[in-house]
Structure 1
Amino acid sequence: MNTEIRRIEEMSMNAHPSLNTVYYDGWQLRFAGGYTYRANSVNMLYPSTLPAADKIRCCEKIYSHQNLPTVFKITPLSCDLDSALAESDYSIVTKTNIMVMDIPQMNTDGLCSVVTNNINENWQSNYCLLNGISEDSIPLAKKMQGNILNQTLCAVLSCNNEIVACGLCVIENEYAGLYGIAVSEQHRRKGYGQDICASLISKAARYGAKKAYLQVVDENTNAIELYKKLGFKDKYQYWYRVKALS
């Protein structure tokens, strides 16, 4: 199981690339101007040899120098560090579920989403709007998306000439990762989110994807219910340990 977890974590970092990375004794310290914990956190995927307490202090110095809070991403690969961080006044933030499914033969009749192969300016604008990305973070979000090197699929769904839903898929090693699935508030519970997901997954299958994965915040029960209907199952959970700037 740990092998697949590490694989998904690596693909997740590739699909949401940071702007700078420091490699430190098996840890990756990611930086992207503070936009998202995923791209501004310490990721621990590989064996480590140095004392953990010393490494934590070093990470704190590096993030403080960038005027960023120190954030550690805790997965089943790094749970042994969780108690040490808790004792050092790190708080738990954003418990998130990773869900995975085998991609079945899908009936695409009736799907309304438009899927294109490449990220473009128009799609990015809709993505940022529907995902509620702040004005200050939009340039960072666009730059990071432009740094994705694997095959991307971009989906939008229109209703009465208005873009009401969107999503991103990044394909790597026969996995299709779904990101930023969003539906405008006034158009929710109409099946648009399911349409976006099914459209992306079916198109990803044509590119050779055999499995799909996504991340959903533990509190988002409506989205979890939708993803289970599509066939996704819980794989593992992660969370962040955060220490505010002093």
Structure 2
Amino acid sequence: MGWLLFFMKLSRWSITMVDHVLGRQLDLLALRSMPALRTELYDGWLLRFTQGFTGRANSVTAMDAGVLALDEKIAYCEARYIEHELPIMFRLTDMSQPAELEAVLIKRGYELRNGDGSLTQVQTAAIAAQDIDTGTLAVRQYSQANAEWVEAIATLAGKSVTAYATLQSMLVLVEQPVCCALLLDGDEPIAVGIGVVEGDWLGVFSVMVAESRRRQGLGTLVMQVLFNWAVEAGASRSYLQVEAQNSAALRLYAKLGYQPVYRYWYRVKA
């Protein structure tokens, strides 16, 4: 099993060296910037519950090894997610503790979510303010996800406003400065994004562009709106999370200078 796990990881990673100190810092920043509705600390692990909205906010993050027996801890987590009527899911990185966690999960029947674990890169970049030309587009920035912004992101995602009410509740819990950016063409929402600043870091979340308006530079534009806001708030660098299969987003972020630091993936109880 050990060699099998080694080759599985080798085939997944293009990031050959992981800076564990930076990776842990980014993980903690993201957890605070997009908080779960309920979080439970259990022997060095974070159990997060948010009504099924996003994997990060509804999974176990194994930050520290703790002192309890591993099988005992996994069984406890399984029971807690059953109580919340949520899938039993672990979010794993090369920094997950203890190191043998994934091998034990495999033995207990855990499988990669969506076939590839919903593999996600965490990337960083230096940022700077610069003048932007919005042309005839309107740019709006809100310190919270108000009704207009929630309706806009729901429209762009092709979902109901109710589906994004949970995100609105999550953002209310953020203690750091928040920017919910919205680009409009007339009355039509065409792009959105969320920025959260903590210290000199800008976290970028939920960047979306209307399907009919893609490849027109709107992704770059909404990112620069967030950069300008964040620089004023004291940030000089940024992090974000992007699914490894999202080639369009990867191209956009590479053009903006983002580079991968580490990756995370999910295992779910079969």
Shorter chain as denominator, the TM-score bin is over 0.9
Give the structure 2 partner of residue 85 of structure 1. 105
Kindly tell me the number of residue pairs found equivalent between the two proteins: 243
Residues 132 and 224, structure 2, Cα contact 8 Å, conserved in 1 = no
Give the structure 2 partner of residue 109 of structure 1. 132
Distance in 2 separating the partners of 1:83 and 1:143: 35
Distance in 1 separating the partners of 2:227 and 2:133: 15
TM-score, normalising length: structure 1: 0.92
User: 1:198 is matched by which residue type in structure 2?
Assistant: Q
Give the structure 2 partner of residue 99 of structure 1. 123
Alignment of 1:13-92 (within 5 A): 13-78=31-96, 80-92=100-112
* % identical aligned pairs: 33
Distance in 2 separating the partners of 1:134 and 1:121: 13
Q: Which of these residues, 118, 140, 162, is aligned with residue 143 of structure 2?
A: 118
Give the structure 1 partner of residue 181 of structure 2. 155
Residues 95 and 217, structure 1, Cα contact 8 Å, conserved in 2 = yes
User: How far does residue 136 in structure 1 lie from its aligned partner after superposition?
Assistant: 4.8
Distance in 1 separating the partners of 2:220 and 2:106: 38
User: How far does residue 7 in structure 1 lie from its aligned partner after superposition?
Assistant: 1.5
Give the structure 1 partner of residue 16 of structure 2. none
Give the structure 1 partner of residue 243 of structure 2. 217
Residues 200 and 237, structure 2, Cα contact 8 Å, conserved in 1 = yes
User: How far does residue 218 in structure 1 lie from its aligned partner after superposition?
Assistant: 0.6
Distance in 2 separating the partners of 1:17 and 1:49: 26
Distance in 2 separating the partners of 1:34 and 1:146: 18
User: 1:89 is matched by which residue type in structure 2?
Assistant: G
Distance in 2 separating the partners of 1:113 and 1:18: 31
* CA distance 1:233–1:113, change in 2 (3 Å): farther
* CA distance 1:132–1:216, change in 2 (3 Å): farther
For residues 197-217 of structure 1, give each alpha carbon's deviation from its aligned partner in whole angstroms, at most 9, with x where no partner exists: 111012201111011011111
List gaps (5 residues or longer) in structure 2: 1-18
